[in-house]
Amino acid sequence: MINDFSNDLCIVIVIYNSNIEDSTTFKSLASALEFASLHSVKMVIYDNSADSQTINQQNYPEYDITYIHDATNPGVSKAYNVAARIGTDLRKKWLLLTDQDTTFPLNTFTAYADATIEYADQVMFVPILNSLSGIYSPCLYHFNRGSAWPDPQPGLYSFKNKSMLNSGILIKINAFNSINGYDEKVKLYFSDFNFVDRLKIKYDKFVVINLICHHSLSDLITTDVEPSLRRFKYYCEGAFFSAITYKAAIWLFFTVLLRAIKLSFRYKDFRFVKTFMTTYLTS
24-35 and 108-118 helices, crossing angle to 10°? 70
Query: What are the tens digits of pLDDT across the range 32-62?
Result: 999 999 999 999 999 999 999 999 999 999 9
Stretch 100-129: mean pLDDT: 98
- Beta strand 94-98 with 102-103 is unpaired
Contact between residue 223 and residue 262 where contact means Cβ atoms under 8 Å apart: no
The CA distance from 276 to 257, in Å, is: 7
Quote the mean pLDDT of the chain.
94
* Distance in Å from the first CA to the final CA of the chain: 48
Q: Which amino acid is at 18?
A: S
Work out the pLDDT band at 65, boundaries 50, 70, 90: very high
Contact between residue 134 and residue 117 where contact means Cβ atoms under 8 Å apart: no
Contact between residue 71 and residue 96 where contact means Cβ atoms under 8 Å apart: no
The CA distance from 19 to 235, in Å, is: 25
pTM over 0.85: yes
Work out the pLDDT band at 257, boundaries 50, 70, 90: very high
Query: What are the tens digits of pLDDT across the range 192-239?
Result: 999 999 999 999 999 999 999 999 876 544 568 998 898 899 899 999
**Residue 6: its pLDDT value, please?**
96
Stretch 243-248: mean pLDDT: 91
Specify the DSSP element, H or E, that contains 241: helix 225-242
- From the CA atom positions of the chain, what is the Rg in Å? 18
| CA distances, 206 to each of 160, 172, 228 (Å) | 10, 12, 33
Comparing 136 with 158, the larger pLDDT belongs to: 158
Query: What are the tens digits of pLDDT across the range 159-202?
Result: 999 999 999 999 999 999 999 999 999 999 999 999 999 999 99
**Residue 24: its pLDDT value, please?**
96
The CA distance from 89 to 67, in Å, is: 16
**Residue 220: its pLDDT value, please?**
46
Q: CB-based contacts of 214: which residues, under 8 Å, 6+ apart? A: 102, 103, 129, 130, 131
